[in-house]
């Protein structure tokens, strides 16, 4: 049986705000275009520039367009043109920045996927009830049906779980079951860990082995847990937050742009969407 999807439209509305704020935070903290060009020039001295790379002016223009269109969408604006602008400009900015370091090309591409999935339907929730949309797009019809909302929520939840599965599978394929013996994690604690992590790296190997095995089991079994605990989505979400909290506490790595989506997709009560919509309406009236 598939996981329960009660309150789908309310959860999507909460996910819309979460995704929008995460994207805006990402865009705000991206390096300026001239800094990227300078760094690329040092790395690729004597080489031909890569084809299709944006100029400083193009990058900054797309970055501004992505910020404005995503902000408007987050606050409740709903039109196909706006959603296309937000998706296309943010994807172009992400692609440009990813060329800076190809090893990290997919670091926060989950935000692009969430934005795209939420763009498939009217995800405003109760905010749509008082919206004054002069375009007539995305307000009613098939795009805002409860069936579409349920399908989108299910897709977002499954994608959330697949990211863990992908991480666990890569560990098995690259290192095999030996990854769970604790040596890799113990070395990471020693090299990358904060105070708590470095303390753990000095404990017996059995501590690191237990933590490694638990990590591997969590990542590989998370999609299964969504089905096994289909009537208890909050437990699924809280386990995700606990996992990231432990990673942050020992190595300072949060993956916040992924973990934050556990709140709207699993943890928060759908009724919380009404309070969020009220705050957004108040902000828009300023």
Of the ranges 114-123, 151-160, 193-202, 277-286, which one carries the lowest mean pLDDT score? 277-286
Closest C-alpha among 68, 49, 57, 51 to residue 32: 57
- Please write the tens of the pLDDT for every residue from 89-131: 999 999 888 877 766 656 799 999 999 999 999 999 988 876 5
Helix, strand, coil fractions of the chain, as percent rounded to 5: 75, 0, 25
Say how far apart CA 197 and CA 191 lie, in whole Å: 9
pTM listed for this prediction: 0.89
- Please write the tens of the pLDDT for every residue from 231-255: 999 999 999 999 999 999 999 888 9
CA distances from 234 to 32, 39, 190, 221, 239 (A): 39, 44, 33, 16, 9
Mean pLDDT score of the chain: 87
């Amino acid at each position: 049986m598939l996981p329960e999807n009660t309150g789908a439209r309310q959860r999507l509305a909460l996910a819309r705000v979460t995704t929008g704020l995460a994207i805006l935070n990402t865009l705000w903290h991206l390096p300026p275009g001239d800094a990227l060009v300078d760094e690329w020039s040092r790395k690729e001295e004597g080489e031909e520039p890569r084809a299709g790379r944006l100029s400083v002016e193009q990058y900054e223009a797309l970055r501004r367009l992505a910020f404005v269109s995503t902000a408007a969408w987050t606050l409740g604006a709903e039109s196909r043109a706006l959603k296309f602008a937000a998706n296309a400009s943010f994807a172009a900015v992400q692609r440009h920045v990813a060329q800076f370091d190809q090893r990290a090309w997919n670091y926060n591409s989950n935000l692009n996927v969430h934005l795209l999935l939420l763009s498939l339907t009217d995800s405003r929730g109760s905010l749509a009830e008082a919206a004054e949309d002069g375009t007539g797009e995305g307000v009613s019809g098939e795009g805002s049906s409860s069936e579409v909302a349920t399908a989108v929520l299910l897709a977002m939840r499954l994608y959330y779980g697949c990211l863990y599965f992908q991480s666990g599978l890569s560990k098995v394929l690259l290192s095999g079951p030996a990854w769970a013996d604790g040596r890799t994690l113990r070395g990471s604690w020693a090299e990358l860990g904060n105070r708590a992590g470095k303390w753990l790296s000095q404990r017996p190997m059995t501590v690191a082995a237990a933590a490694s095995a638990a990590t591997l089991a969590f990542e590989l079994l998370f999609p299964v847990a969504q089905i096994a605990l289909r009537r208890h989505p909050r437990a699924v979400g809280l386990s995700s937050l606990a996992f990231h909290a432990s990673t942050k506490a020992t190595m300072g790595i949060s993956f916040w742009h992924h973990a934050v989506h556990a709140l709207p997709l699993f943890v928060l009560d759908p009724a919380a969407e009404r309070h969020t919509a009220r705050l957004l309406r108040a902000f828009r009236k300023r």
